[in-house]
Structure formats: structure tokens, C-alpha cells
Amino acid sequence: MAQRRTGGEKLLMTVLCTLAACTAVPISDLLDRASQRSDMIHSLSTTLTHDLDSHFPPIGRMIMPRPSMCHTSSLQTPIDKEQALQISESDLLSLVRSLLQAWQDPLVDLSTSVKTLPHPAQNSISNKIQELQEHSKSLGNGLDILSGKMGPAAQAVYSLPYSGGNDINPDRISKLAYFNFLLSCFRRDSHKIDSFLKVLRCRLAKTQPERC
């Protein structure tokens, strides 16, 4: 029992030391890391979209839901860099965290449904979805620490309910269409997350706004 307690204490100290090290990292460095991670996420989601397009029948596009039906569409976000520059740094980070958190359950849905996805690149797509989950979790952890450094406004997260795709018919085309739709929504939001973080990094670096 003594050895178990010692092992547990060592693990606890390791976790505490890791958290302490993270919280000691300057905001600029945290944003650099977050931007690098968000860039990887958006790049991976773009690659996944191309993978699906290689085996997606035209009729599938006809039955895909409209982009306005993405579960995150209700969140009001800047439509371009100029609008992003008008929002406070804390509110911009809050939007990023809200978008990222809204994708926790949908990414699980994608990870589960890919197991029966009628696509020849199923294994490759499954591996990439898993990578997306890992990168998203890592980014979320980093943004949690960053928000703690930027005050209450940055820690606010909007609720964006996700109802899932249980109402989608189980036929082959519907599965592909829903999977493609969900992934296209994620790709759109990952682009927003990446863009907003880069603007935020530029602004907090005190760079001239017109150069952000």
C-alpha cells in the first residue's frame, strides 16, 4: 500500500508540476502554440474533405443539409478580419473556445460513424478523425490555460447544442452525405478558429492592427 501511495503522490506531483509549467508560459508563447495546433487541425480537416470527395456520388451533394444547418451556425462570429479586429481580445478567445467545445460530441459522432462508413479509404479517414480529436483536445487544454490569464470574459463559453445524426437514414448515400456534411461544418469552424487565433496572436503582440 505504501508503494501505491508513493506512486500516486509522484503522479500527482508530475501533474501539478506540468500545470505549473504551463501557467508560467507567457501569453505570447501560448498563442503561438495554439495557432500552430489550430493550423494543423484545419489542414487535417481539409485533407479529410478531399479524401471523402474522392468517393462521393453527385446525388449525395443533393441531399446534404445546407451549411446554415450546422449546429454552430447560431453563434455570431466575425465574417472577416476587419470585424475580428473590432472585437475585444477576451471576447474573441471566448468565441474560439465556444466553437472548439461545440465540436467535442460531434467529433465523437464522426469517430463512431466512420467505423461503418461505406468508403474505400475508411481506415485512413478513421485515423485522421482520431488525430483531429487528439489535436482538438490538446488545443482546448491550452486555450483553457490561456483564458485563465485573460480574465472572466475570455472564460465565458456559449452553449451550442448538438442533436447528433440519429435521424439520418442508414442507407449508404445518407451515411456518406451526413458524414460529409458534419465534416464540412467542422472544416468551416476550424478555419474560423485558426483565423481568429492568428488575429488574436497578432493583436496581443502589439503589432499594428492593419498588419494582422
The per-residue pLDDT for 93 is 96
| pTM for this predicted structure | 0.83
- CA neighbor of 118 nearest in space, from 187, 164, 55, 44: 55
Question: Would you state the pLDDT for residue 186?
Answer: 97
Q: Domains, the chain, ranges and CATH?
A: 28-211 (1.20.1250.10)
- The pLDDT assigned to 18 comes to 43
Residues 192, 109 contacting (CB under 8 angstroms):
no
pLDDT given at position 211:
65
Look at the block and give the residue holding cell 479509404: 121
DSSP 79: S
- Give backbone dihedrals phi and psi of 90, rounded to 5 degrees, phi first: -65, -45
Per-residue pLDDT of the chain (212 residues; tens, 9 = 90+): 334 344 444 433 333 334 444 456 788 899 999 999 999 999 999 999 999 888 777 777 777 888 889 999 999 999 988 899 899 999 999 999 999 999 999 999 999 989 888 888 899 999 999 999 999 999 999 999 999 998 899 999 999 999 876 545 568 888 888 899 999 999 999 999 999 999 999 888 775 656 66
Q: Cβ(87)–Cβ(72) under 8 Å? A: no
Show the cell assigned to 60.
449525395
The helix/strand/coil state of 96 is helix
Helical residues (DSSP H) of the chain, grouped into ranges: 2-23, 27-53, 58-63, 81-84, 89-102, 104-113, 122-150, 152-155, 172-204
pLDDT at 8: 43
